[in-house]
Structure 1
């Protein structure tokens, strides 16, 4: 009896019911009742009915993601705390200029300079980070553009976006499925569901009612974004657009928030602390200067200058460009990073949740073992390229010949520098490759034994058989599941001799089958029989068979993955396999690549995850043993990622299918496959592996860790300079000197003109050799750790003392009382020039010593970073121009300094380098002593 037409409300991009609910109901109906349930007929919809549904429920496409306008993205660059502080400082400085009497052009120059710095930083940040997310567009791009539909009983080719619920579509091999459909006729159809499930194996589908399991496993349903591998079919659309399984994944992806990286949190925290310190120190010095008799406006401008000295104006630009250097380095190693901050976040990764197919494996089925004549034969080579060999091929040729003749797939040679690939079922492709490696020419074999009949594979028999003619009559070739095929065999080929298949021999075959299966191999059996004529019935063809052998195949691991996994383990990174595949297959691959290192890994299926509450899941993930998550859905992946993040882990997730997109977006680091991955996965991720290899992740982690270390190096460099600038200002304030030893404009000249290039050169330092032998840093570890702050104060303090010494040495040497100094005084101009030049010179030597933590810079090689030497030289040339070029003298209120003064500054500039070398020597000595003591105790 047909289901009433109102049982299921039509869905669509704006439908009221989900495709999941529709699929669960539709799957249970006989094919003849599907039409009435969806208010259609075998002749298809009428054009009028289709247009009505299209207007009511919307087109078969996913909603496009809304992106902020470009001006909003640019404006967001000015909301950074550093930018806000500098904008306020610029505005107040401009206001102070209008209140001064007489007005000081230097105050206006300072306001303009600060504003220019903000604009420069915002421009660099916008240019580096402008990358709008287009996940919805990518999902839409995966939907085929046209499809064949019955309308008014006529087969038409229509745009896929015009499909509506109730449309009858015609499908054949090579077609992409345009919407969620229920099969009503199926002729040997197999589909690739990789875009939905993440697994690339072709699966058979039929039109009979299906009562059990989730809708994605319904054997009579096809889903948007999947591909027809073989066969033909007629199907009725039951969900379109957002109501499809693809649409459900889109909604999960859109709802998943983009996680902030650890560096984002730390930079924001640093900005708050620095801004607070700048305001506090500026306010304190303003309060000190005002009672000393300085007028309000002058004291306020002075305090603003102090704030400018403390705020690292060049830091945002330096950080962005340094991260961009890391991006370029990763790109050279086949890892494309779309968000700059993700570079550093990779270095803090503590857990990698990796997909199996295509990431750890080649995504190409390969025969590795053939058992024939009681002997196991190994097959070399991987992938679909017929390069390799079979050990002792003669005994296996009969089995591989039968398997190859009983296959419909085709091997396609590479074109335009591409790779060999399979047209049709990938399992059959692997059989064809193995036959070629055994020395069989398929074209010659087909010419010698042309096919005259076929009984296609179906899920009930689990067999496929073909009939061939030859010089000696007719024969059948059969391949399929070993147990089902063995039941139909009465004889076995043993070393070229056909003997009766006894119970003992049957048990031997099944024992070998079980051994291959426990290795994670997919096992097929091959058989043959002689026939009396060209058209026997199926039961005759598939009975009385002679068993020829077993073929074991797998999707082989990538050769470089094992070392990459070992590198992650050495680095303290936990690697967890998350796959939709069978647990036995997953464990076998995990053992081959080194993810499983112990005898009893924890294997958890999606069904078990459904039974665990959050506390139980947290307890499961808290264990440090080998963990495999199998048969999982997109929701499961997101839940696992969230659970790891609750434990304060920094989680990287790899994936290639649309089913992986929600987890990729929700992870701290989403890593998609570039070669084989889907568009939606690539758009949801922040990093794309151009070679699809897990090894590129390990390389990226190594580079990410070095980026973080380099960021710390240039933070020490920048903030030690700020202390060197602030020290003389504070000293002059408490000494009663009426003017500043270094002006705010000079500070900007140092921060942007002399400091940026050396800081960038430090950011380009190569990774240290042992960077992957250290554990991941804690999510709570701050950029300004105790060690970093200690080094800033140590180096900056020495620089500040040298700056104070050179300033007061020059001022006191003139014999002029402090109260008589003015900004136009030649001695004052020389003194502030000496302070600025002294900071520039000492910063050059500080940059040299910051290249290493403990090792002597002389041992590392002074010339091993030529960019740093060049950057330091440019800074000195810039400083010389400020001192000697009249135009710049007028801008910065500077004066020429003598050669002897340069010599004194050079001696003082070396002091931070010498002091830090002494500190490193002390650290090395203590470390050596501890090592000797520990060795003695052992």
Structure 2
């Protein structure tokens, strides 16, 4: 918790000779300019402003501030109480319709004289359906969210603090404004702080800004400017990669820059997926049709003299026949199957409906660092004596080769000596890693590949002095004592800066003068490597007169040894994933906080950019575009890279794409990505390297941080959508077979229902759910990623889907109507003389129920393909479907023959001839569907496969 404005206080600052006294408010969550104000102060004024001292806070004062400002943690996103989320399962429109139906049916039972046990059975059955659907949906979502919550750990758990003048280690949650934090290379920064001491300090701000290159930090005051550009401040969630320092805490928890982004993320509305919107539309239409049909039937039968309760129960049967009771459960479980399949592919989906939304993705806005790349700087090229030398291998593992390594040994030896990083070998599950600056770590790895041992070189020529890197000089130098007692300096830095300080160059182990022509060749080599998006450093050396030469002596009159070029290598699987996205018609836009040249180089390596001149826009340029110009930029740029962008820029781009009708997936791992992750249709965060803020905002977490997992997830999402359409056709087609006989009996004047509501529920939940689930579990088809994404506004019930529902449902309806009225007419009993207990009537309604179950078995086989013959696809290729269909028929047989169930469902035993007739009608349905597919293939010549 952070203080309210009323509880904030203003502390006086020291008045120095150059300025008047100013005031800085101790940070709260509403303030974001505190760091910028503190950055302009000298160190004593910082202590005064925060009411602290070099000895840190006292334990008593820290406790007071903790009570005042709260713990140093980001507020969790409220998921609501469990009971509230369970109750929310009953707000689905299908559930509401069924609940109202159950309540009215209970009322009808209570008011009936005498009370009919069948009416009570119907009410209890409807209520049981609602409870079953709610339980399945809640269990699936609860399980997915609990798994997602296990991904924690961005904010460090412990930190070193000066309290009461002593250094202590305590939980980062206990930090308060004014605490003095001790930082070393490899530490995660636990809060927003102002440095008061810094020795060769550098931070990696990738989690906050998206920029992968470490940035040097100082303790001196800096001119006013944007907070994130203050070189004497460090931010929660970033890492100190080099050097050491002490810092005063300025803001904690929600008052940090992380907190600002967290609030920006929390303010983004929760968007509905395409499937959510389409299911909602479908539910409204089906519910409306069910209510209207029930009302019409009631209006037709009421004047006929039938008892009111009987007429009402009859109408309820019509409503129940039209409401797909098994759909919510089937949909939830089918999506859960997709979730489990994705989890096996290292993609954790936190929301079930997001599985389907992935399949409709048309644009992926991807981050660069850690998503497309490995976040491990790697030397790939060396230049010495006018010759380029390739370096193989990627990442921090020192496995690879350097072409003609002997020619560049002195170059790499000097580069390794002039480094403060440390290469750490694998331990347990941890791979090779670097403690300190990643650029220096890359130089150490390259030296190892050339056969050098940096530790041995350091021991042979120990360091005696150092001039740390400074952004003004753009150089770093170290002084070493050689074995003969002489001293030499190793210098590395920006090529142009270092080249200007060189007088000679080493050529094939001979030192020669650095002529203008030679300078031109070096400059051309450096520019050529930089043009490839590589980070280039020059390395030089010289003899010095003593162990502690001034910087002017150590960094002038140098001998150039050569150039090193490095980059953050792409993940090896990314190119294939990008190619798969291209085949699938998915557009990829890189959105990064990094430099345009670096971004373009990575984009070319992974295949996002193939044209000579892609469109590259920076955040500053986006600020100058209004919405119409931004829309034009997004529409007209086939290959687009957005660089140096802020969280607000990312959100604006996502909104503009959605305005154009795109389904947008956004990938990222840093806190700066969180607002866009939440605002997107699909937010995809990194599980291994990502921040808590990003994982909280996303609906999908990549457990292996691999971009390729996104492509796999999109394919699985498309497969899920196809399977959903399959079982929708399967489920809704038999609703027609349930409704038509009831309507036919009404208009034919038959006084009883051809199928009772309890029988309908038995079909919907007992015989249909398992085959529908088997259809929902059909494996991903090989061509699923070879077609463009479906339009955002494409209806779930397209014309082709509705046509198949009517076609298949109509055949089933004709079949069951035929067997019902044939059985009734064959008895010779007049309609008016039939009662509920007549054996002929019970046999007839049993024939109707069994007819629907048997025909649905053949229907399940038919809907597996649209144009391809099921015999060509293979009748036995989905054994689960055959088993589920067999279970449904077996259950129907038990309902027909078991006396206890006969009493519940009002059924009667069927003769073998009856089953033969029903099987013939089912086979006729499959033959008719095969003829339709044959005609479709012949007349339209459409490609085979798919579910259209």
When the two structures are superposed, what TM-score results if normalisation uses the length of structure 1? 0.95
Please tell me whether residue 692 in structure 1 is matched to residue 708 in structure 2. Answer: no
| Alpha carbons of structure 1 residues 165 and 526: separation in structure 2 relative to 1, 3 Å | same
Alignment of 1:435-454 (within 5 A): 435-454=447-466
| Alpha carbons of structure 1 residues 643 and 134: separation in structure 2 relative to 1, 3 Å | farther
Q: How big is each residue's C-alpha offset from its partner over 1:6-38, in whole Å with a ceiling of 9 and x where there is no partner?
A: 62222235xxx51x3112222222334333344
Alignment of 1:347-746 (within 5 A): 347-472=359-484, 473-746=486-759
| Counterpart-to-counterpart distance in 2, 1:451 and 1:308 | 85
Q: Match for 2:73 among 46, 52, 61? A: 61
| Alpha carbons of structure 1 residues 21 and 447: separation in structure 2 relative to 1, 3 Å | closer
Q: How big is each residue's C-alpha offset from its partner over 1:47-78, in whole Å with a ceiling of 9 and x where there is no partner?
A: 56555544444443333433311111111101
Matching residue of 2:4: none
Q: CA deviation at 1:243?
A: 1.9
Q: CA deviation at 1:894?
A: 0.8
Q: Match for 1:9 among 7, 22, 25? A: 25
| Counterpart-to-counterpart distance in 2, 1:163 and 1:307 | 61
| Counterpart-to-counterpart distance in 2, 1:912 and 1:5 | 89
Q: Match for 2:789 among 776, 786, 789? A: 776
Matching residue of 1:170: 182
| Counterpart-to-counterpart distance in 1, 2:943 and 2:733 | 30
Q: CA deviation at 1:142?
A: 3.6
Matching residue of 1:807: 820
Please tell me whether residue 98 in structure 1 is matched to residue 110 in structure 2. Answer: yes
Matching residue of 2:11: none
Q: CA deviation at 1:202?
A: 2.1
| Alpha carbons of structure 1 residues 878 and 823: separation in structure 2 relative to 1, 3 Å | same
Q: Match for 2:286 among 243, 262, 274? A: 274
Please tell me whether residue 22 in structure 1 is matched to residue 34 in structure 2. Answer: yes
Q: Which moved more, 1:418-427 or 1:454-463?
A: 454-463
| Counterpart-to-counterpart distance in 1, 2:228 and 2:463 | 36
Aligned residue for 1:772, secondary structure, equals coil
Alignment of 1:289-304 (within 5 A): 289-304=301-316
Q: How big is each residue's C-alpha offset from its partner over 1:90-134, in whole Å with a ceiling of 9 and x where there is no partner?
A: 111111112222222111111000000000000001101126979
| Alpha carbons of structure 1 residues 662 and 763: separation in structure 2 relative to 1, 3 Å | same
Q: How big is each residue's C-alpha offset from its partner over 1:385-410, in whole Å with a ceiling of 9 and x where there is no partner?
A: 11111122221222111111221212
Q: Which moved more, 1:473-482 or 1:338-347?
A: 473-482
Q: How big is each residue's C-alpha offset from its partner over 1:663-685, in whole Å with a ceiling of 9 and x where there is no partner?
A: 11111111011121112212221
Q: CA deviation at 1:153?
A: 4.4
Q: Which moved more, 1:585-594 or 1:600-609?
A: 600-609
- Contact 1:62 1:139 (C-alpha < 8 Å) held by counterparts: no
| Alpha carbons of structure 1 residues 788 and 137: separation in structure 2 relative to 1, 3 Å | closer
Please tell me whether residue 31 in structure 1 is matched to residue 43 in structure 2. Answer: yes
Q: CA deviation at 1:610?
A: 2.1
Q: How big is each residue's C-alpha offset from its partner over 1:265-315, in whole Å with a ceiling of 9 and x where there is no partner?
A: 011110000000001111111111112221211111000011000000000
Matching residue of 1:214: 226
- Contact 1:6 1:37 (C-alpha < 8 Å) held by counterparts: no
Q: CA deviation at 1:140?
A: 9.5
Q: Which moved more, 1:525-534 or 1:346-355?
A: 525-534
Q: Which moved more, 1:608-617 or 1:558-567?
A: 608-617
Q: Match for 1:87 among 77, 99, 102? A: 99
Matching residue of 2:847: 834
- Contact 2:159 2:169 (C-alpha < 8 Å) held by counterparts: yes
| Counterpart-to-counterpart distance in 1, 2:236 and 2:294 | 62
Aligned residue for 1:264, secondary structure, equals helix
Q: Match for 2:239 among 208, 227, 230? A: 227
| Counterpart-to-counterpart distance in 1, 2:392 and 2:181 | 43
| Alpha carbons of structure 1 residues 626 and 159: separation in structure 2 relative to 1, 3 Å | same
Please tell me whether residue 759 in structure 1 is matched to residue 772 in structure 2. Answer: yes
Q: Which moved more, 1:655-664 or 1:82-91?
A: 655-664
Q: How big is each residue's C-alpha offset from its partner over 1:570-623, in whole Å with a ceiling of 9 and x where there is no partner?
A: 212111101110111001111111111222222111112222222322222222
Matching residue of 1:935: none
- Contact 1:67 1:133 (C-alpha < 8 Å) held by counterparts: no
Please tell me whether residue 849 in structure 1 is matched to residue 865 in structure 2. Answer: no
Aligned residue for 2:280, secondary structure, equals helix
- Contact 1:229 1:424 (C-alpha < 8 Å) held by counterparts: yes
| Alpha carbons of structure 1 residues 139 and 638: separation in structure 2 relative to 1, 3 Å | farther
| Counterpart-to-counterpart distance in 2, 1:417 and 1:124 | 37
| Counterpart-to-counterpart distance in 2, 1:268 and 1:191 | 49
- Contact 1:4 1:37 (C-alpha < 8 Å) held by counterparts: no
| Alpha carbons of structure 1 residues 837 and 816: separation in structure 2 relative to 1, 3 Å | same
| Counterpart-to-counterpart distance in 2, 1:26 and 1:601 | 41
| Counterpart-to-counterpart distance in 2, 1:386 and 1:73 | 51
Q: Which moved more, 1:885-894 or 1:208-217?
A: 208-217
| Counterpart-to-counterpart distance in 1, 2:432 and 2:151 | 27
Question: RMSD value over aligned CA atoms?
Answer: 2.2
| Counterpart-to-counterpart distance in 2, 1:829 and 1:134 | 49
Q: Which moved more, 1:154-163 or 1:544-553?
A: 154-163
Query: Structure 1 stretches of 5 or more lacking a match?
Result: 932-938
Q: Which moved more, 1:505-514 or 1:444-453?
A: 444-453
| Alpha carbons of structure 1 residues 526 and 32: separation in structure 2 relative to 1, 3 Å | same
Q: How big is each residue's C-alpha offset from its partner over 1:159-206, in whole Å with a ceiling of 9 and x where there is no partner?
A: 444433333333232333232222222211111223312334321101
Q: How big is each residue's C-alpha offset from its partner over 1:495-529, in whole Å with a ceiling of 9 and x where there is no partner?
A: 22221111111111111111111111001111122
Q: CA deviation at 1:136?
A: 14
Please tell me whether residue 198 in structure 1 is matched to residue 214 in structure 2. Answer: no
- Contact 2:144 2:350 (C-alpha < 8 Å) held by counterparts: no
- Contact 2:154 2:690 (C-alpha < 8 Å) held by counterparts: no
When the two structures are superposed, what TM-score results if normalisation uses the length of structure 2? 0.94
Aligned residue for 1:191, secondary structure, equals strand
Please tell me whether residue 914 in structure 1 is matched to residue 930 in structure 2. Answer: no
| Counterpart-to-counterpart distance in 1, 2:412 and 2:489 | 14
- Contact 1:849 1:916 (C-alpha < 8 Å) held by counterparts: yes
Query: Size of the alignment, in residue pairs?
Result: 927
Please tell me whether residue 877 in structure 1 is matched to residue 890 in structure 2. Answer: yes
Q: How big is each residue's C-alpha offset from its partner over 1:550-585, in whole Å with a ceiling of 9 and x where there is no partner?
A: 111001111211121121122121111011101110
| Counterpart-to-counterpart distance in 1, 2:660 and 2:922 | 47
| Alpha carbons of structure 1 residues 235 and 415: separation in structure 2 relative to 1, 3 Å | closer
- Contact 2:241 2:438 (C-alpha < 8 Å) held by counterparts: no
Q: CA deviation at 1:786?
A: 0.9
Q: Which moved more, 1:883-892 or 1:310-319?
A: 883-892
| Counterpart-to-counterpart distance in 1, 2:77 and 2:929 | 53
Query: Structure 2 stretches of 5 or more lacking a match?
Result: 1-14
| Counterpart-to-counterpart distance in 1, 2:852 and 2:150 | 52
| Counterpart-to-counterpart distance in 1, 2:72 and 2:573 | 42
Aligned residue for 1:8, secondary structure, equals strand
